[in-house]
Amino acid sequence: MALDRKPAPNDLDAFWMPFTANRQFKKAPRMLVGAKDMYYTSSDGRQVLDGTAGLWCCNAGHCRPKITEAIQKQAAELDYAPAFQMGHPLAFELANRLVDVAPKGIEHVFYTNSGSESVETALKLAIAYHRARGDGARTRLIGRERGYHGVNFGGISVGGIVNNRKMFGSLLTGVDHLPHTHLPEQNAFTRGQPEHGANLADELERIVALHGAETIAAVIVEPMAGSTGVLLPPKGYLQRLREITKKHGILLIFDEVITGFGRLGSSFAAEHFGVLPDMMTTAKGLTNGVIPMGAVLTTGEVHDAFMQGPEHMIELFHGYTYSGNPIAAAAGIATLDTYKEEGLFERAAELAPYWEDALHGLKGLPHVIDIRNMGLIGAVELEGIPGEPTKRAFSAFLKAYEKGIMIRTTGDIIAMSPPLIIDKAQIDQLIGTLADVLKTLD
Enumerate binding residues for ligand PLP (CB under 6 A): 114-116, 119, 148-150, 222, 226-227, 255, 257-258, 283
- CA–CA distance, 203 with 432 (Å, rounded to integer): 41
- Residue 33 Cβ vs ligand PLP, minimum distance, rounded to whole Å: 23
Compute the distance between CA of residue 286 and CA of residue 122 in angstroms, rounded to an integer. Answer: 17
Q: Which is nearer to ligand PLP, 148 or 273 (CB)?
A: 148
Closer residue to ligand PLP (CB): 56 or 360: 56
- Per DSSP, the chain holds a count of helices (H) and strands (E) of 16, 15
Nearer to ligand PLP, 228 or 426 (CB): 228
CA 424 to each of CA 319, 347, 354, 414: distance values in angstroms, whole numbers, following the listed order: 43, 11, 7, 20
Write down the least CB distance from residue 149 to ligand PLP, Å.
Answer: 5
Contact predicate 39/425, CB 8 Å: no
Distance CA 282, CA 256 (A): 5
Please, what is the minimum distance in Å from the beta carbon of residue 316 to ligand PLP? 21
What are the angstrom distances between the C-alpha of 101 and each of 159, 199, 251, 255, 334?
A: 27, 31, 22, 16, 14
Q: Which is nearer to ligand PLP, 256 or 370 (CB)?
A: 256
Spell out a b/e string for 64-76, using b for 16 or more CB atoms within 10 Å of the CB, else e: bebbeebbeebee
Find the shortest distance in angstroms from Cβ 269 to ligand PLP.
10
Report the residue number, 115 or 277, with the smaller CB distance to ligand PLP: 115
Q: How far is the CB of 284 from ligand PLP (least distance, A)?
A: 6
> Which residue number, 238 or 368, has a Cβ lying nearer to ligand PLP?
238
Contacts for 351 with CB less than 8 Å, ≥ 6 apart: 376, 420, 422, 424, 427
CB 385 within 8 A of CB 367: no
Residue 159 CB, shortest distance to ligand PLP, in Å, is 8
Measured at the CA of 67, the angle between CA 264 and CA 105, to 5 degrees, comes to 45
CB of 153 to ligand PLP, least distance (A): 13
246 φ, ψ (degrees, to nearest 5): -60, -45
| Min dist. Cβ of residue 115 to ligand PLP (A) | 2
Residue number with the smallest Cβ distance to ligand PLP: 115
Instruction: Label residue 30 exposed, middle or buried (CB < 10 Å: 0-12, 13-18, 19+).
Output: middle
Q: Minimum CB separation from ligand PLP for residue 119, in Å?
A: 6
From edge to edge, which strands make up the β-sheet containing 106-112?
Answer: 106-112, 294-299, 279-282, 251-255, 216-221, 140-144, 175-178
Compare residues 220 and 368 and give the one whose CB is closer to ligand PLP.
220
Q: Where are the alpha helices (DSSP H) in 264-382?
A: 269-273, 300-304, 326-341, 344-360
How many C-beta neighbours within 10 Å does residue 3 have? 11
- Expressed in angstroms, the distance from the first to the final Cα of the chain is 36
Closest to ligand PLP by CB, 115 vs 332, is 115
Cβ of residue 292: shortest distance to ligand PLP, in angstroms?
Answer: 7
Q: Under a CB-based contact definition with an 8 Å cutoff, are residues 415 and 407 in contact?
A: yes
Question: In this complex, which beta carbon is closest to ligand PLP, that of residue 83 or of residue 283?
Answer: 283
CA distance 397 to 25: 13
